[in-house]
Amino acid sequence: MRLRVATFSTSRLALSVVAAVIGLVHLSLAPGQEKPARLTFDVAVIRPSQPGGRGGGIKPLPGGNGYLVQNMPVKAMISLMYKVPGRQITGGPDWLNNQGYDIEAKADLAYSLDDLHLMFQNLLADRFNLKFHKETREGPVYALVVAKSGPKLKVNESPQDFKIPILPGPDNVFVGTRVPMQYFCYFLGQQRLPQEWPVVNKTGLDKNYDFTLSFMPDLPPDFPKENLPPGLLDRPSLPDALQEQLGLKLQPEKGPVEYYVIDHVEKPSEN
**DSSP state string for 163-182:** --SEEE-GGG-EEEEEE-HH
In a domain, 269, yes or no: no
- Give pLDDT tens digits for 84-131: 988 899 999 999 999 999 999 999 999 999 999 999 999 999 999 999
**Distances, alpha carbon 239 to alpha carbons 145, 189, 213, 215, 216, in Å:** 12, 12, 11, 9, 10
The per-residue pLDDT for 190 is 85
**Does the pLDDT value for residue 181 go beyond 50?**
yes
The per-residue pLDDT for 271 is 67
Length of the chain: 271
Q: Phi and psi of 209, rounded to 5°?
A: -135, 150
Beta carbons within 8 Å of 238's beta carbon, 6+ residues apart: 188, 191, 193, 215, 216, 217, 218
In a domain, 183, yes or no: yes
The per-residue pLDDT for 36 is 57
The per-residue pLDDT for 19 is 34
Query: Taking all residues of the chain, what is their mean pLDDT, rounded to a whole number?
Result: 84
The per-residue pLDDT for 270 is 66
**Distances, alpha carbon 60 to alpha carbons 81, 131, 211, 217, 253, in Å:** 11, 24, 21, 27, 35
**Does the pLDDT value for residue 210 go beyond 50?**
yes
- Give pLDDT tens digits for 37-90: 899 999 999 999 988 777 789 999 988 999 999 999 999 999 999 999 888 999
Beta carbons within 8 Å of 83's beta carbon, 6+ residues apart: 182, 183, 186
C-alpha to C-alpha distance for 104 and 50, rounded to whole angstroms: 15
What letter does residue 50 receive in the DSSP assignment? P
In a domain, 258, yes or no: yes
In a domain, 141, yes or no: yes
**Does the pLDDT value for residue 3 go beyond 70?**
no
C-alpha to C-alpha distance for 233 and 217, rounded to whole angstroms: 9
C-alpha to C-alpha distance for 1 and 8, rounded to whole angstroms: 11
Helix ranges (DSSP H) in 73-180 = 74-81, 95-98, 113-127
In a domain, 24, yes or no: no
High-pLDDT (> 90) share of the chain, %: 62
The per-residue pLDDT for 25 is 34
Q: Phi and psi of 76, rounded to 5°?
A: -65, -35
Number of domains forming the structure of the chain: 1
High-pLDDT (> 70) share of the chain, %: 85
In a domain, 166, yes or no: yes
Mean pLDDT of 153-171: 88
Identify the weakest region by mean pLDDT among 22-36, 55-69, 94-108, 196-210: 22-36
In a domain, 123, yes or no: yes
- Give pLDDT tens digits for 7-16: 333 333 333 3
**Does the pLDDT value for residue 4 go beyond 70?**
no
Decide: helix, strand or coil at residue 75.
helix
User: Higher-confidence residue: 2 or 47?
Assistant: 47
- Tell the burial category of 189 from Cβ atoms under 10 Å away from its Cβ (0-12, 13-18, 19+): buried
Domain residue limits at 182: 43-264
Strands 89-90 and 248-264: parallel
In a domain, 245, yes or no: yes
Identify the weakest region by mean pLDDT among 21-25, 62-66, 188-192, 221-225: 21-25
**Does the pLDDT value for residue 28 go beyond 80?**
no
